Structure 1
């Protein structure tokens, strides 16, 4: 039986969501093959949580002492949203110790976590993305922004997830507050042209033989966009499979498979789109998507009549870095 570190926590705004995801993964882990341990990252320290007690992990070899015995982890399942997992920092540490993990490597994660760089790469590969600019100066002249990207547009932290710090700006007077909010979450901000259309989430993973695209989810919210409240507080309606025709559905699935392949993704990922004028524009690649009860990926797995436990088994069977 292999010991699996289900890594969670972190110091970002997504800490609590990460804990929910990790607990769900631990609950469904195949206990005939694996023994799961919650591993909490907090302020650059690592702890394994056993019976609600935190035991410090020796970072030199990713081990811990329990009942006077030294224990090691065989593999890592990534359930930490945001840094240091989604930005690739943790992967560099695990690579040095030759420990396999379920998510993208550090090089890929660095790109996908940086919204602006990810969009640039996707466009270079031939995929559709919304027009965007990068801002790293809080005191920038707002007129210059509006000249480059016409209203309405989104103001987003360049490196943050779960829609924290994101604002939709419809009027010039809203821009200053939106910039301040975004800069509270990241030292760089991306300004992205607002697309008008249906929002679609597309889960995708590798089953050991081929890349599989799960049923699509259509996201409808009463809010201006799919923000944190819509994602986790029930302020949205999600339809899985999405209420779009078969031709467009297959086109988006094929695009997701191509993105997964060309971006060298790994594990379970979610690619989000806005379908504008029947064309799918990629708005985000989420390399460690949520696994909470409210999250999209579990809905898609259920709609595909697949066993969530078996999907986790496949992810852990395909962890070679």
Structure 2
């Protein structure tokens, strides 16, 4: 009998559109001979499941079930979370699924909450010897003078939301008069802002997943933005070169993969993650950890899976079935 799979997308952040595109990608990848997938769209206003005929039904939040066209109550066996932002990337949805006993695709509450908070995650991993850029954190109601920020981090620097993604609210600041407007833009995305020193180097990203049966660290991708930095247009509108495998030495490739695997284990991750780095003259620096990485047509993970000689269909099946193995 086929397992019924919820591909959960949407969310309450600026990244909702990206999440919907990831859901479309995953719906296309999943093995429909083995699974019965449904796209479930979460928003502040409602939780709805999209049926085969294009209509939508409300999801019962008590048990995450719904009624199909025939009035039959359908219960999901598994949830593949592809929400970028709250509540699917910060641990809230994971906690809900834990409460109702529904297996899901990504890491648990603690790892999700920690990785969603960029500053906390990077400072935590720094304690394990992972190199990160110098940074400072501002919360709503706090302020810092432009002179103090520039003295601490130098120029250029990056100012961004501490809990956002897809480069929403990210600014590369090159002059003092850009600092405060950049802070205001970042605060529009969330209650905390990170200012981070600029690192000049080669941007790399590496995917990884682990199951009871195997550890798979994917080929490394080199990221060459056509814009000033890897912003939204670069990520989703093709303004970037994404080279897989990266044009780096075998030794550097292996070291990036080792650090990716180490971070996976330190954080206690589950499912597929992606870790972003920048390699400078001083070494390999962590940028951020993504525990619900994008699965759109332009996303890194499908590219890396293909470069590894696998298909996303195979990988999804491996990840899903790992939750049901004794």
TM-score normalized by the length of structure 2: 0.95
Which residue number corresponds to residue 167 of structure 1? 171
Match of 2:86 among 80, 83, 86: 83
The CA deviation at 1:319 is 3.3
Contact 2:106 2:292 in 1 (8 A): yes
Secondary structure of the residue aligned to 2:264 is helix
1:294 to 2:298 alignment:
yes
Which residue number corresponds to residue 234 of structure 2? 230
Greater mean deviation of Cα atoms: 275-284 or 203-212: 203-212
Which residue number corresponds to residue 54 of structure 1? 56
The CA deviation at 1:150 is 1.6
Which residue number corresponds to residue 46 of structure 2? 45
Which residue number corresponds to residue 35 of structure 2? 34
Match of 1:111 among 97, 103, 114: 114
Contact 2:30 2:312 in 1 (8 A): no
Secondary structure of the residue aligned to 2:298 is coil
Calculate the aligned-residue CA RMSD, in Å.
1.2
Per-residue Cα deviation, 1:19-78 (whole angstroms, up to 9, x for no partner): 111111111211122100000101153111112222001111111111111110000011
1:73 to 2:72 alignment:
no
Q: Number of residues paired by the alignment?
A: 320
Secondary structure of the residue aligned to 1:214 is strand
C-alpha distance in structure 1 between counterparts of 2:115 and 2:291, whole Å: 7
Per-residue Cα deviation, 1:121-149 (whole angstroms, up to 9, x for no partner): 11012211111110114643222222222
C-alpha distance in structure 2 between counterparts of 1:101 and 1:27, whole Å: 19
C-alpha distance in structure 1 between counterparts of 2:223 and 2:148, whole Å: 33
Greater mean deviation of Cα atoms: 135-144 or 17-26: 135-144
1:263 to 2:280 alignment:
no
Contact 1:204 1:270 in 2 (8 A): yes
C-alpha distance in structure 2 between counterparts of 1:312 and 1:78, whole Å: 12
Which residue number corresponds to residue 194 of structure 1? 198
Contact 1:138 1:180 in 2 (8 A): no
4+ residue runs over 4 A deviation:
none
C-alpha distance in structure 2 between counterparts of 1:149 and 1:193, whole Å: 5
1:272 to 2:276 alignment:
yes
Contact 1:102 1:318 in 2 (8 A): no
Contact 1:155 1:167 in 2 (8 A): yes
1:149 to 2:153 alignment:
yes
Contact 1:240 1:300 in 2 (8 A): yes
Secondary structure of the residue aligned to 2:132 is coil
Which residue number corresponds to residue 16 of structure 1? 17
Contact 1:198 1:276 in 2 (8 A): yes
Which residue number corresponds to residue 136 of structure 2? 133
Which residue number corresponds to residue 244 of structure 1? 248
Contact 1:217 1:240 in 2 (8 A): yes
